[in-house]
């Protein structure tokens, strides 16, 4: 179990403010969505959380320890990320690729421990990839690659899962199916989730907390039902957004 705290965080990229004075705590078992229009800085914010770039001001704490005081490897053993742009398809098998997820935890320099192999196999099985274990990565379809990326993230067994546009390359059925699998695994491990997405309805379906990035470093954050309103979303996306209610689910669409 891990708690991720963002304290008075200021992040800028190329002179543009992504967020100013962002303070939020993501506790174990919580699921957060990060919403905002294209270019709002969702990816930049996620990259700051894995130490890929540093914040301009403020602190990021993992279980009370500032991440700048952690080694990259300690950080990677607790925070994992699914990247937006997918994976390079270098010559490698599906299994070899899933095993890369174990890197932050590996003890031995050469030997692959049975425990790590089992975890990687289980991760592949969770996303129905066990039959493709020995396949070359460059023979996979876009959807299979995205499932492999998710399996690799699962094999990393992080306590905080960061997802950057997880629905990329996935049809509607797979979006829901794969995120449900991931949600289940996250719950099993008492982990937490922060998912950047442009799909408001997907966010509403899987996350009970929302960070909504607005312009000029402003943002809204809080409970899903509080934040996801026609008014807030229209402001964030600079476009009129309406909603309908179907069953017990509220669905948003551009008017």
Partner 1 sequence: MIANRQLLLLTLLLIFTLISVLFSLLSGSVEISLGQLVSNFSSAENNLSRQVLEEIRIPRTLAAFVTGGLLSLSGVIMQVLLRNPLADPYILGISGGAAVGALSAILLGVSGFWLSNAAFGGAGISILLVFGIANKFGSWSVTRLLLTGVVVSAGWGAVINILLTTSSTNNVQSMLFWLMGDLSQSQVGVGHFLLLLIGLAGGLVLSRSLNVLIRGELLAVSLGISIRPLRLLLFFSASAFTATAVTIAGSVGFVGLIIPHMLRLLGARDHRMLIPCSILLGGSFLVFADSLARTLIAPQQLPVGVVTAVIGVPAFILILRSTIRK
Query: Which residues lie near partner 1 (CB under 8 A)?
Result: 47, 50-52, 71-77, 80-81, 83, 87-88, 90-92, 96-97, 100-101, 103-104, 106, 109-110, 136, 139, 156
By beta-carbon proximity to partner 1, the closer residue of 195 and 227 is 195
By beta-carbon proximity to partner 1, the closer residue of 52 and 180 is 52
By beta-carbon proximity to partner 1, the closer residue of 13 and 87 is 87
What's the min distance (Å) between Cβ of 77 and partner 1? 7
- The strand pairing partners of 34, in sequence order, are 196, 211
By beta-carbon proximity to partner 1, the closer residue of 101 and 200 is 101
Strand extents, DSSP E, the chain: 4-13, 16-26, 31-35, 57-62, 65-66, 79-82, 160-164, 192-196, 209-213, 219-223, 241-246, 249-254
Q: What is the 8-class DSSP label of residue 63?
A: T
Is residue 103 helix, strand or coil? helix
What's the min distance (Å) between Cβ of 42 and partner 1? 15
Q: Which two tokens stand for residue 203?
A: 């966010």
What's the min distance (Å) between Cβ of 216 and partner 1? 27
What's the min distance (Å) between Cβ of 96 and partner 1? 7
């Amino acid at each position: 179990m891990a708690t991720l705290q963002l304290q008075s965080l200021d992040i800028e990229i190329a002179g543009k403010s992504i967020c100013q004075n962002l303070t939020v705590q993501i506790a174990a078992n919580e699921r957060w969505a990060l919403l905002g229009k294209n270019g709002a800085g969702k990816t930049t914010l996620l990259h700051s959380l894995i130490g890929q770039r540093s914040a301009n001001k403020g602190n990021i704490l993992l279980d009370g320890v500032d991440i700048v005081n952690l080694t990259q490897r300690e950080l990677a053993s607790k925070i994992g990320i699914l990247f937006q742009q997918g994976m390079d398809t270098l010559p490698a098998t599906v299994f070899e690729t899933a095993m890369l997820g174990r890197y932050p935890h590996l003890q031995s320099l050469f030997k692959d421990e049975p425990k790590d192999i089992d975890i990687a196999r289980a991760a592949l099985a969770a996303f129905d990839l066990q039959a493709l274990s020995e396949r070359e990565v460059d023979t996979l379809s876009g959807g299979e690659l995205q499932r492999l990326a998710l399996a690799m993230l699962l094999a990393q067994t992080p306590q905080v899962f960061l997802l950057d546009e997880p629905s990329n390359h996935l049809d509607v059925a797979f979006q829901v199916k794969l995120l449900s699998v991931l949600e289940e695994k996250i719950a099993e491990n008492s982990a937490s989730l922060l998912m950047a997405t442009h799909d408001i309805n997907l966010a509403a379906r899987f996350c009970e907390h929302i960070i909504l990035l607005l312009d000029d470093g402003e943002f809204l954050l809080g409970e899903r039902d509080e934040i996801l309103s026609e008014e807030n979303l229209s402001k964030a996306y600079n476009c009129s957004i309406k909603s309908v209610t179907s069953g017990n689910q509220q669905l948003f669409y551009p008017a």
